[in-house]
């Protein structure tokens, strides 16, 4: 579990088809490497990966076929040259963004980025080749003022259309400067994770099994008496 607050930037290099080397920036490597141990989880551009080997300035992970197919990790020519990094949330730690699982739903592309007086307004939509993926896994979770993680960065959706075909976010200067969002060019790809709360609400609303289970647990006077209430 993560919060969507990026701690460092790193450079990625595929060692083999499924092994990835992540090298942290020397200036802020300690934010990631301090107390990092084998088996820890790190969000790499929002994708949760497990540390298998620790290097002096980074670490090595193995990437599953599903992660390669669902994320930009296997598409480095289509995205920023550097990746956002965040270590997993510790019990008792601050939740400055929102709950981010590190399980990417799909890929989006930057449509435009425009500087305003107080922020950068960025618009994202589906890559032309991935419109079906977007429709299946992302569009229904896009709601105005809802949360979304873009390359692992916790952001609030400022606007979106009714069909969920695009959305915009307002990125404050600090976030823009210290993440790879500032390096994105139009048509470059990003990892997207929708808010997990929306997925659970959808499950409860549409699942016949969930409704049946709730009906079996209706609180009645007999239920209260049997559980010590009178």
The 10s digit of each residue's pLDDT in 30-82 is 889 989 999 999 999 999 999 999 999 999 999 999 999 899 998 878 888 89
Distances (CA, A) of 129 to 57, 107, 125, 126, 187: 36, 10, 12, 8, 12
- Residue 146: band (very low, low, confident or very high) from pLDDT cuts 50, 70, 90: very high
**112 has a pLDDT exceeding 80:** yes
* Whether 4 contacts 97, CB under 8 Å: yes
Q: Which two tokens stand for residue 228?
A: 């010590």
Residue 18: left (phi > 0), alpha (psi -120 to 50), or beta?
alpha
pLDDT higher at 79 or 189: 189
Between 160 and 76, residue with greater pLDDT: 160
8 A C-beta contact, residue 88 and residue 162: no
Question: Taking all residues of the chain, what is their mean pLDDT, rounded to a whole number?
Answer: 89
Mean pLDDT of 189-210: 83
pLDDT at 12 exceeding the cut of 90 = yes
Residues in contact with 194: Cβ distance below 8 Å, sequence separation at least 6, in sequence order:
105, 137, 138, 141, 142, 148
Instruction: Report the distance separating Cα 76 and Cα 97, nearest Å.
Output: 26
Predicted confidence at residue 201, as pLDDT, reads 83
Task: Look up the pTM and report it.
Answer: 0.86
Q: What is the dihedral of CA 81, 178, 107, 145, to 10 degrees?
A: -170
Percentage of the chain beyond pLDDT 70 is 90
Q: How confident is the model at residue 212 (pLDDT cuts 50, 70, 90)?
A: low
pLDDT tens per residue across span 213-228? 545 555 677 766 776 6
SS3 81: coil
pLDDT score for 114: 96
- Residue count (the chain): 230
The whole-angstrom distance between residue 195's C-alpha and the CA centroid of its chain comes to 9
């Amino acid at each position: 579990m993560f919060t969507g607050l990026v701690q460092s930037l790193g450079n990625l290099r595929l060692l083999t088809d499924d092994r990835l080397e992540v090298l942290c920036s020397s200036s802020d490597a300690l934010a990631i490497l301090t107390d990092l141990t084998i088996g820890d989880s790190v969000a790499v551009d929002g994708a949760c990966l497990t540390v298998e080997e620790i290097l002096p300035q980074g670490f090595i992970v193995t990437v599953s076929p599903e992660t390669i197919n669902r994320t930009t990790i296997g598409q480095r020519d289509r995205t920023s040259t550097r990746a956002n990094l965040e270590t997993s949330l510790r019990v008792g730690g601050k939740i400055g963004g929102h709950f981010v699982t590190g399980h990417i739903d799909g890929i989006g592309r930057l449509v435009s980025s425009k500087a305003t007086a107080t922020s950068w307004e960025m618009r994202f939509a589906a890559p032309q080749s991935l419109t079906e993926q977007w429709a299946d896994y992302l569009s229904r979770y896009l709601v105005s003022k809802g949360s979304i993680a873009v390359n692992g960065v916790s952001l609030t959706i400022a606007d979106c259309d009714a069909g969920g075909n695009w959305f915009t976010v307002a990125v404050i200067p600090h976030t823009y400067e210290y993440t790879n969002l500032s390096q994105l060019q139009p048509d470059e790809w990003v990892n997207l994770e929708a808010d997990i709360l929306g997925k659970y609400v959808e499950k409860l609303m549409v699942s016949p099994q969930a409704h049946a289970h709730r009906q079996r647990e209706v609180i009645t006077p007999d239920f209260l008496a049997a559980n010590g209430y009178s």
